């Protein structure tokens, strides 16, 4: 691969009318978000897919769409939609199985480009990141120019489009990056941010999911401007600390810094099954598989986990969760399984279940506690570390414990697996089975 040219040498469009006087910008925060990332990579790598509706996901009636290309979105297809429903809405869509190693490779290229512009890069997922460009105007020009340079550099390096939002806060920059997708560039000057946000619906507030947005609407707040003008004490009374935070965001106040090397909040693995199950031994085999996968990722990142969350979805699509802290932070599959089994027994639900999985949370650097729980079996930990090395060299399931097999001598693998890292609530990165 040829080395990237200096960003200053890239041909740039004319300076935008949105270039605000730099005296008004106490900070310059960029949010950069790849457009339909997985689908765009597949369309780039396979020219026959260009201009066609593409869905990235498993070729299974029980799976969900990971990404829909922009050509598929007019049909009402989007991420997390069941594959069956997506195909019903868009029968001409081309289903492409995910290639996560490829996406991770391209993501590294993108993040390397970001690092050419700023040492302060906070990756939120494979395809989006914050950059703190404060004080960089004398290198890259005013906000619109530096935003355009980032877009041009990513396009030159990867052949992919990216949408960029620039403002003085993380929140406004993120909203701005999604304002004019795909291939957008939106600049929101600090003095204009509150008025710019005001007409937007309350579900554009960072952290306002469906339930919270509905509650805000029930309280009479339909736009961000409504929240901005509200009594913060009233919001706190009905929504707690979240209400106070919403009031700050609605008024374009967000002092959070861009943090380098951001740590994942949780690491999880779950499986949507081809057939619903209720047998305890089958459920435990799937949980064991999740525990092994999670433990490998936890140790690879030199983390220990303080808690575990069990996730089960019934055949009637009811999501059941139960969670608990460990006596001390741990990093082995055996320890994850002990707690998961306890939570499963406490749940005491007959099933059947269509999704089985778990996640560990409250992650911290292993640091001095390199041996994990002092009361854990050191032999088990050494065995798991040895299996890590074999998996790294030869791939998943090269070596499998006998207890993890079913009566036919095979590992419980039916269904579609989704591994993820949660950097923020609801932000997931998928990985291969």
Mapping DSSP to helix (H, G, I), strand (E, B) and coil, where does residue 64 land?
A: strand
CA dihedral 394, 396, 401, 402 (to 10 degrees): -110
pLDDT at 307 over 60: yes
Asked whether 26 and 191 are in contact (CB, 8 A), the reply is no
How large is the average pLDDT for residues 34-48? 96
Name beta bridge partners: 34. 162
For the chain, the first-to-last Cα distance in angstroms comes to 29
CATH of the domain at 76: 3.40.1170.60
Asked whether 150 and 162 are in contact (CB, 8 A), the reply is yes
pLDDT at 25 over 90: no
271 plus 414 within the same structural domain: yes
pLDDT tens for 203-243 read: 999 888 888 899 999 999 999 999 999 999 999 999 888 89
- Scanning the structure block, which residue is given the tokens 């007409």? 199
Quick check: is 139 in a domain?
no
Asked whether 396 and 376 are in contact (CB, 8 A), the reply is no
Closest CA to 129 of 105, 146, 112: 112
296 plus 341 within the same structural domain: yes
Q: How many domains does the chain have?
A: 3
Angle at 427 between CA 70 and CA 89, to 5 degrees: 35
| Ordered DSSP codes for 232-247 | HHHHHHHHTHHHHHHH
β-pair type (266-277, 416-422): antiparallel
Name beta bridge partners: 201. 223
CATH of the domain at 218: 1.10.150.20
Quick check: is 357 in a domain?
yes
Asked whether 428 and 420 are in contact (CB, 8 A), the reply is yes
pLDDT at 324 over 90: yes
Poorest-confidence range of 105-119, 197-211, 287-301, 357-371? 357-371
Residues near 341 by Cβ (< 8 Å), separated by ≥ 6? 284, 287
Mapping DSSP to helix (H, G, I), strand (E, B) and coil, where does residue 139 land?
A: helix
How large is the average pLDDT for residues 11-39? 70
pLDDT at site 392: 53
271 plus 407 within the same structural domain: yes
Quick one: tokens of 17?
Answer: 């009318």
272 plus 355 within the same structural domain: yes
pLDDT at 411 over 60: no
pLDDT tens for 144-182 read: 999 999 999 999 999 999 999 999 999 999 999 999 999
Residues near 137 by Cβ (< 8 Å), separated by ≥ 6? 22, 28, 143, 146
217 plus 364 within the same structural domain: no
Mapping DSSP to helix (H, G, I), strand (E, B) and coil, where does residue 30 land?
A: strand
Integer Cα distance of 359 and 337 in angstroms: 11
Upstream peptide bond of 212 is cis (omega within 30 degrees of 0): no
pLDDT at site 328: 82
What backbone phi and psi angles, to 5 degrees, belong to 170?
-65, -45
pLDDT at site 415: 63
pLDDT at 74 over 80: yes
pLDDT at site 24: 65
Asked whether 54 and 68 are in contact (CB, 8 A), the reply is yes
What is the number of other CB atoms lying within 10 angstroms of the CB of residue 286? Answer: 26
User: Higher pLDDT residue, 263 or 256?
Assistant: 256
Q: How far, CA to CA in Å, does 129 sit from each of 105, 124, 164, 178, 431?
A: 16, 5, 10, 13, 19
pLDDT at 118 over 50: yes
E-only strand ranges, 206-318: 266-277, 303-314
Residues near 413 by Cβ (< 8 Å), separated by ≥ 6? 289, 397, 433
* pTM greater than 0.75 (yes/no): no
Q: How far, CA to CA in Å, does 27 sit from each of 4, 131, 173, 203?
A: 27, 11, 11, 26
Quick one: tokens of 393?
Answer: 């060299």
346 plus 370 within the same structural domain: yes
314 plus 371 within the same structural domain: yes
306 plus 392 within the same structural domain: yes
Residue 384 DSSP code? H
User: Higher pLDDT residue, 284 or 398?
Assistant: 284
Q: How far, CA to CA in Å, does 215 sit from each of 201, 209, 220, 314?
A: 13, 10, 9, 26
Integer Cα distance of 141 and 22 in angstroms: 10
Integer Cα distance of 196 and 173 in angstroms: 12
pLDDT at 369 over 50: no
323 plus 350 within the same structural domain: yes
pLDDT at site 6: 45
CATH of the domain at 338: 3.30.1490.100
Quick check: is 228 in a domain?
yes
Integer Cα distance of 59 and 38 in angstroms: 16
pLDDT at site 39: 96
Residues near 181 by Cβ (< 8 Å), separated by ≥ 6? 33, 35, 163
Asked whether 16 and 187 are in contact (CB, 8 A), the reply is yes
Quick check: is 369 in a domain?
yes
* Domain, as residue range, for 216: 198-250
Quick check: is 256 in a domain?
no
Of 76, 101, 126, which marks where a domain is finished? 101
Of 55, 73, 101, which marks where a domain is finished? 101
Quick check: is 396 in a domain?
yes
Quick check: is 126 in a domain?
no
pLDDT at 409 over 90: no
pLDDT at 429 over 50: no
Asked whether 12 and 145 are in contact (CB, 8 A), the reply is yes
Integer Cα distance of 11 and 15 in angstroms: 12
pLDDT at site 358: 94
User: Higher pLDDT residue, 401 or 130?
Assistant: 130
pLDDT at site 302: 80
333 plus 237 within the same structural domain: no
Closest CA to 128 of 157, 146, 103: 103
User: Higher pLDDT residue, 284 or 367?
Assistant: 284
pLDDT tens for 333-350 read: 999 999 999 999 999 999
Of 67, 101, 135, which marks where a domain is finished? 101
Catalytic annotation, residues: 128
328 plus 293 within the same structural domain: yes
305 plus 236 within the same structural domain: no
Quick check: is 187 in a domain?
no
What confidence category does residue 428 fall into, taking pLDDT thresholds of 50, 70 and 90? Answer: very low
Residue 158 DSSP code? H
pLDDT at 106 over 80: yes
């Amino acid at each position: 691969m040829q080395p990237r040219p200096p960003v200053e040498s890239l041909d740039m469009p004319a300076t935008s009318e949105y270039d605000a006087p730099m005296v008004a910008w106490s900070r310059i925060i960029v949010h950069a978000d790849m457009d339909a990332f997985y689908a765009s990579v597949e369309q780039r790598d396979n020219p026959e897919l260009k201009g066609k509706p593409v869905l990235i996901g498993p070729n299974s009636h029980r799976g969900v769409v990971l990404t829909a290309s922009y050509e598929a979105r007019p049909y009402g297809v989007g991420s997390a939609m069941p594959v069956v429903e997506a195909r019903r809405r868009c029968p001409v869509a081309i289903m492409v199985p995910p290639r996560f190693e490829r996406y991770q490779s391209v993501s590294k290229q993108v993040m390397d480009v970001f690092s050419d512009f700023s040492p302060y890069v906070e990756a939120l997922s494979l395809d989006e990141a914050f950059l703190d460009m404060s004080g960089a105007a004398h290198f890259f020009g005013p906000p619109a120019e530096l935003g355009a340079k980032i877009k041009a550099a990513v396009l030159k390096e990867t052949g992919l489009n990216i949408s960029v939002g620039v403002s003085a806060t993380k929140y406004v920059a993120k909203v701005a990056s999604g304002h004019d997708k795909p291939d957008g560039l939106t600049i929101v000057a600090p003095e204009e941010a509150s008025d710019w946000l005001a007409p937007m619906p309350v579900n554009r507030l960072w952290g306002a999911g469906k339930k919270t947005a509905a509650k805000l609407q029930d309280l009479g707040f339909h736009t961000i401007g409504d929240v901005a003008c509200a009594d913060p004490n009233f919001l706190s009374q009905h929504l707690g600390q979240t209400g106070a935070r919403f009031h700050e965001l609605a008024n374009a106040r967000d002092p959070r810094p861009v943090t380098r090397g951001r740590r994942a909040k949780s690491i999880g693995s779950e499986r949507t099954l081809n057939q619903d199950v209720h047998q305890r031994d089958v459920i435990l085999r799937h949980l064991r598989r999740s525990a092994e996968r999670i433990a490998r990722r936890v140790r690879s990142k030199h983390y220990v986990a303080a808690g575990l969350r069990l996730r089960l979805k019934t055949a009637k699509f009811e999501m059941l969760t139960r969670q608990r802290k460990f006596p001390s932070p741990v990093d082995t599959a055996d320890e994850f399984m002990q707690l998961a089994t306890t939570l499963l027994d406490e749940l005491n639900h007959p099933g059947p279940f269509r999704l089985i999985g778990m996640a560990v949370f409250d992650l911290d650097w292993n640091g001095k506690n390199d041996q994990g729980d002092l009361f854990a079996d050191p032999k088990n930990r050494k065995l798991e570390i040895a299996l890590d090395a074999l998996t790294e060299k030869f791939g998943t399931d090269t070596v499998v414990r006998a207890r993890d097999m079913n009566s036919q001598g095979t590992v419980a693998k039916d269904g579609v697996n989704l591994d993820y890292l949660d950097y923020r609530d609801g932000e997931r990165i998928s990985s291969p089975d």
